[in-house]
Amino acid sequence: MAYSKGDLVADMAAAAGITKKAGADCLEALLGAIAKELKKGGSVTLTGFGTFKVSARAARTGVNPQTGAAIKIPARKVPTFKAGKGLRETVR
């Protein structure tokens, strides 16, 4: 079973001794701050956890699976995450 945002909020609230509403507000603030920094083209490093950053994907030619026709896929920026050593060790 997948661990949902609601599960995360409940665990955060319990660990911090705060209400679920306050936990949800904290999580939204964290996610908003990360998104804001990535939108500016920056990166966010949480030592021991990992780094969020923006990577550029080059334009390329793809294939429409229904028709087999070649299509042009435009260049774009995508968010990426690289796990830190602490997280990798925990998951191991």
For residues 53 and 87, membership in a common domain is answered with yes
**Rg from Cα positions in the chain:** 18
The verdict on 66 and 32 lying in the same domain is no
Residue 1 has pLDDT above 80, yes or no: no
Give me the residues paired with residue 53 across strands: 80
Q: By percentage, how much of the chain surpasses pLDDT 70?
A: 100
CATH number of the domain at 62, please.
4.10.520.10
74: domain range?
Answer: 43-92
Q: What is the pLDDT of residue 65?
A: 95
Strands (E), the chain: 44-46, 50-57, 60-63, 70-73, 76-83
Global model pTM greater than 0.75: yes
Residue 53 has pLDDT above 90, yes or no: yes
Let me know if 9 is exposed, middle or buried by CB neighbors in 10 A (0-12, 13-18, 19+): buried
Cβ-Cβ contacts under 8 Å for 79 (sequence gap 6 or more): 38, 52, 53, 54, 55
